[in-house]
Structure formats: C-alpha cells, structure tokens
C-alpha cells in the first residue's frame, strides 16, 4: 500500500477549503437575499386588536442559510481537528507547535465559534419571525413581530467572519503539519 505524498494531502485540504468557503459564500448570499425580501410594515395587517403577517420568502432563505452555514462550519472544524489531532506527528512536534501557534489558533477558533453562535441565534430568530403569524396567534404571546432591518445583513457579515476564521485556523494547523512532514522526509 502506497502512502500518499504530502502534496496529495495538501491538494485534498485545498479542495475541502474551497468547498467550505463556497458554502460559506452561498450562506452569505442567502442572508443578503433574505434581507431584501423580508416582511415590511406594509405586509402587516391589523384589525385594531389582532394582527396578521404572511409568510415571507426570507423564511426559506433563512433555513437555507442556516443549513449551508452548518455544513461549512462542520467541514472547517473537521479539517482543523483532523490536521491538529494527527497521531503520526511526534509528541515533541505537537508540544512545540502548541507553544508557538496555540494562542493565534485558539483566538481564531474562539472568534469563529463566537461569531458562529451569534449568527445562528440571529438567523434562527429572524427566520422564525418570517413564518406566517395568524390572527390571535402572532409570533410570541399573540403579538406580531417584524424582522428588524439589518438583522439578516448582520448575520451575513457574521457568516463571513465565521467561515474565514475557522478556515484560517484549519489552514494554519494544516500548514504546520505539512511543512513539518516535508522537512522530516528531507532531513
């Protein structure tokens, strides 16, 4: 059985980066599209006591943005943990890598997770408000709520920050391991 060269593994990592970045960009576009088609005040029907709000197209776009964001985040985290938890790397190299790159990588990961959490909360709340709110039911306690302008746009920016930081941390961990393997084979 032939062991794949580091270049082959590097090209596989690049393919996963491209997939993750593409899914993140698609999620960004879904968020922007949801912002453009969200319900406005003109869509709200009020009979003096009860309100009604029809389903907005941003409901489906918000769900699509959430799904693509989750898949891109899973791919980015899988790449990062696969390259950082490789068992073929000697313990000393892991310790040296941890000391030298740990703070930068940890900060990227924490920033990515924080922005992911906030983006998911914003998308879930805005998407659930985009469903049909019938007379007497509303969204919460019988009251109708509109998605505030800029909510989907803010989550779109957070999507870009999430995907960028997760992929940057995954790329930095894989770069170290690939250069370490290349130098080890040559020397």
CB burial of 52-83 (b: ≥16 within 10 Å; e: otherwise) equals bbeebebbbbbbbbbebbebbbebbbebbeeb
What number of other Cβ atoms are within 10 A of residue 39's Cβ? 22
- Give per-residue pLDDT as tens, 48-94: 777 778 888 899 999 999 999 999 988 888 877 766 555 455 555 55
**Closest to 69 measured CA to CA, from 20, 34, 32, 111:** 20
**Which residues in the chain show pLDDT less than 70?**
1-10, 82-105, 136-140, 142, 173-187
Q: Write down the pLDDT at residue 65.
A: 94
Q: Write down the pLDDT at residue 101.
A: 54
Indicate the Cα dihedral angle 162, 165, 171, 172, nearest 10°: -160
Q: Write down the pLDDT at residue 175.
A: 55
Domain boundaries, the chain: 9-178
% of the chain residues with pLDDT over 70? 70
Q: Write down the pLDDT at residue 138.
A: 63
């Amino acid at each position: 059985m032939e062991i794949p060269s580091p270049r082959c593994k590097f090209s596989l990592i690049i393919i996963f980066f491209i997939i993750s970045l593409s899914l993140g960009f698609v999620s960004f576009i879904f968020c922007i599209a949801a912002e453009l088609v969200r319900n406005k005040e003109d869509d709200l029907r009020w009979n003096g006591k009860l309100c009604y709000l029809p389903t907005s197209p941003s409901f489906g776009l918000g769900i699509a943005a959430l799904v693509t964001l989750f898949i891109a985040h899973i791919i980015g985290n899988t790449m990062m943990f696969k390259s950082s938890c490789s068992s073929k790397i000697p313990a000393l190299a892991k310790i040296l890598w941890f000391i030298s790159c740990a703070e930068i990588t940890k900060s990227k990961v924490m920033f990515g997770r924080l922005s992911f959490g906030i983006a998911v909360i914003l998308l879930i709340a805005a998407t659930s408000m985009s469903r049909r709110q019938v007379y007497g039911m509303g969204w919460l306690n019988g009251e109708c709520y509109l998605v505030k302008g800029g909510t989907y746009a803010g989550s779109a920016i957070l999507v870009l920050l999430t995907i960028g930081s997760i992929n940057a941390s995954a790329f930095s961990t894989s770069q170290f391991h690939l250069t370490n393997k290349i130098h080890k084979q040559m020397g």
